[in-house]
């Protein structure tokens, strides 16, 4: 569905992308992973025809440069920077977008309900919170029910609860869309992607399964265990005696552990007879 061959992009003398090859099969979901400036957003901008490049980029066989209108009609896009015409209301913004995408008003209301913005129609987009802007961007991306979604940090402006809802929504879209996403949340990669492409300095370093990402790049992560105060010291003792680095953090314990080591840490704490109230992975 999405094919990049030898994609190269320079900004002046700086290479944003070097000879990037990528194939995203129809119905699959691929996450682009890498540090800031690795070239993830440039890949998405190339597919949208926002930047000129060397090499080839196609979506469903349509060339992104010479047949950009056809390509963009197949794509729903959630940008990293959420900018709309600030004076337009939510309803006016959706109306404008749906007029260019030839979508009827009923469908527009459907997607606004899906993202929970149907009661904010009269609000100017300039007055929306970061989370609401993200929801609006997702609504606009879904308007034409596109077969391809390009998501550039789709949950970056959402709080934990909203992020969870959004991940659920995106998971449901995986069944009928081809997804190409960038994210800094390693947890989301596991939930949303079939495959991870690791970019560094504009080059594809490797491709792996989401479960292998931690091991391949050593994604820094910590396990946070929320415990009853009385259990904090016993938990710390059990962990350190098992050779697992841990420290106190308020009413909980932070465990420095990656990948499988996190499971081992949990086993140690549970094995010591300690009840765990909550578990979070911090990255």
Q: Which of 247, 251, 283 is nearest to 265 (CA)?
A: 247
Name the residue nearer to other proteins (CB basis): 8 or 165.
Answer: 8
Name the residue nearer to other proteins (CB basis): 136 or 170.
Answer: 136
Name the residue nearer to other proteins (CB basis): 126 or 218.
Answer: 126
Residue 176 binds to other proteins (criterion: CB under 8 A): no
Residue 185 binds to other proteins (criterion: CB under 8 A): no
Residue 275 binds to other proteins (criterion: CB under 8 A): no
CA distance linking residue 236 with residue 233, whole number of Å: 5
- The 8-class DSSP code of residue 274 comes to P
Q: Which of 70, 14, 81 is nearest to 44 (CA)?
A: 81
The 8 Å CB, 24+ separation contacts for 258-266 are 258/214, 258/215, 258/218, 258/219, 258/220, 258/221, 259/214, 259/215, 262/221, 262/223, 265/223, 265/239, 266/223, 266/225
CA distance linking residue 213 with residue 196, whole number of Å: 7
Pick the piece of the chain touching other proteins (CB under 8 A) from 19-27, 73-81, 172-180, 231-239: 73-81
First vs last C-alpha separation in the chain: 31
CA distance linking residue 150 with residue 36, whole number of Å: 18
Residue 209 binds to other proteins (criterion: CB under 8 A): no
User: Which residues, numbered 30-69, are part of the site for other proteins (CB under 8 A)?
Assistant: 45, 48-52, 68-69
- Rule CB under 8 A: choose which of 13, 36, 83, 230 binds other proteins: 83
Name the residue nearer to other proteins (CB basis): 156 or 165.
Answer: 156
- Rule CB under 8 A: choose which of 21, 66, 87, 240 binds other proteins: 87
Task: Indicate the SS3 state at residue 248.
Answer: strand
Output helix, strand, coil percentages for the chain, rounded to the nearest 5. 40, 30, 35
Pick the piece of the chain touching other proteins (CB under 8 A) from 28-36, 84-92, 177-185, 248-256: 84-92
**In the complex, minimum distance from the CB of residue 192 to other proteins, in angstroms, rounded to a whole number:** 21
- Rule CB under 8 A: choose which of 15, 88, 261, 281 binds other proteins: 88
> Which residues bind to other proteins, rule: CB under 8 A?
11, 45, 48-52, 68-73, 75, 77, 79, 81, 83-85, 87-88, 96-97, 99-102
């Amino acid at each position: 569905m999405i094919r990049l061959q030898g994609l190269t992009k320079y900004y002046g003398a700086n290479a944003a992308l070097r000879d990037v090859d990528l194939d995203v099969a129809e119905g699959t979901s691929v996450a682009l992973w890498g540090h800031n400036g690795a070239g993830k957003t440039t890949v998405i901008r190339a597919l949208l025809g926002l930047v000129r490049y060397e090499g080839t980029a196609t979506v469903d066989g349509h060339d992104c440069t010479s047949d950009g209108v056809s390509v963009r009609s197949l794509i729903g896009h959630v940008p990293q920077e959420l900018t709309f015409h600030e004076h337009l209301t939510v309803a006016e913004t959706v109306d404008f977008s749906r007029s260019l995408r030839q979508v009827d008003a009923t469908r527009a209301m459907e997607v606004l309900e899906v993202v929970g913005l149907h009661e904010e129609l009269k609000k100017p987009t300039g007055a929306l919170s970061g989370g609401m802007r993200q929801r609006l961007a997702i609504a606009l991306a879904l308007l034409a029910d596109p077969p391809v979604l390009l998501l550039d940090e789709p949950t970056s402006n959402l709080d934990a609860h909203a992020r969870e809802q959004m991940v659920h929504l995106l998971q449901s879209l995986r069944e009928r869309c081809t997804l190409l996403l960038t994210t800094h949340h390693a947890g989301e990669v596991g939930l949303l992607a079939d495959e991870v492409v690791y970019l560094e300095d504009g080059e594809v370093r490797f491709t792996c399964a989401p479960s292998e990402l931690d091991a391949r790049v050593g994604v820094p992560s910590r396990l946070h265990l929320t415990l009853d105060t009385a259990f904090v010291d016993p938990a710390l003792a059990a962990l350190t005696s098992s050779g697992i680095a841990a420290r106190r953090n308020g009413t909980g314990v932070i465990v420095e552990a990656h990948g499988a080591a996190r499971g081992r840490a949990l086993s140690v704490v549970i094995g010591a007879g300690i009840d765990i109230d909550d578990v979070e992975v911090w990255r």
